[in-house]
Amino acid sequence: MRAFHRWLFFAGLLSSFTLVAQAQETAAILGRVRLIDGTPPPDRIMVTLETRGLVVQNSFTDNQGQFSFSYLIANPYHVKVEVEGYQPVRETVVVNPAISPTFQVRIQLTPIVRTSAAEKNRPPNDLGGNPYLISAADYRKKYPPEAVKAFEKGVEAEQRRQPDEAIKHYKKAISIEPAFYPALNNLGSLYLSENKTKEAEEQFEKVIQLSPNDAQGYFNLGHVFCLTARYADAERSVAEGLKRLPDAAMGHFLMGYLYIRTGYLDEAEKRLRWTLQLDPLLSKARIEMANLHMQRQQPEKAIAELKLFIEKYPGDPMLPQVKKLLAKLESQKAEGK
């Protein structure tokens, strides 16, 4: 079975910035999923929306294959679909509420044709898979219907920006089926967003026990360790995740973050540069590069990184903080400090 996990926002992870929610214009992405013959999928599937390498929202398709994401600020987004038996899809949508209140995307699922005997016999959940999403039919086969129903209500509540309601539904799903690890993971994510690190850690540890081959659980637990400054534990956890998903941009970003805090600056730079190669839209890696250069007493390079941030991520929510820091560094440079 392929299990759904959502990535966490790293809002508390960056020491130099505080991400402050502000009232902004928002827009929506409206989409639909179709099979190659033009018909909607026979089962509801989960669609993931990412920006800067982090999951923003998740949505289920309806019986017509339609889905939507709401309350989106100006940003480039990736709409991702991964379903067993079909080629993965990653569509980019550049949202700008000043241009339009809605943006549309159409996803076509193309079956994977396996030719060799090894490919035909490959198990669907082999090590190194990247299960961002599952077909609802898959987890309905494994978990009790009432648990699945509660889980889906939790996901929908998160889409409506109702975390308390989502927590209630995830807890219900877990009370019905304690081994329902997608619900455990999402519950941990919500706890972490509320800075309840102890509660989040408990959930992610359970996720790893139940699904030891799933990389996201290790990254999420490593995130908790980062926030609580347990860097040795964080390094072990993130390394375990990278064993299972070697090309995970967030895994390498976390390693870069850790190595900066523990003084391994050369290794940190390698990890952050690799992060940006894997996912050029992961803007926080650019900020950490600037942080690294500041630790090396290289303000000119830090200024260059911040300027690149402003050029490449004009819609990023952290843009005001980055501009403020850039102005400060340029002022200090002019004063010869």
Express each pLDDT in 158-198 by its tens digit.
767 788 999 999 999 999 999 988 889 889 988 988 889 99
Mean pLDDT of 135-164: 79
Structure confidence at residue 272 as a pLDDT band (50, 70, 90):
very high
3-state secondary structure of 335: coil
Strand order, beta sheet including 54-60: 54-60, 46-51, 75-81, 89-95
pLDDT digits (tens, 9 = 90+) for 278-290: 878 788 899 999 9
Q: What residues does 330 pair with on adjacent strands?
A: none
Contact between 215 and 254 (Cβ < 8 Å): no
3-state secondary structure of 71: strand
pTM to 2 decimals?
A: 0.63
Percent of the chain with pLDDT over 70: 83
CA torsion sign for 153, 78, 68, 44 is negative
Mean pLDDT of 23-34: 80
Please state, rounded to an integer, the average pLDDT across all residues of the chain: 80
pLDDT at 132 exceeding the cut of 80: no
Helix/strand/coil percentages in the chain, nearest 5: 50, 15, 35
b/e map 66-75, b = 16+ CB within 10 Å: ebbbeebbbb
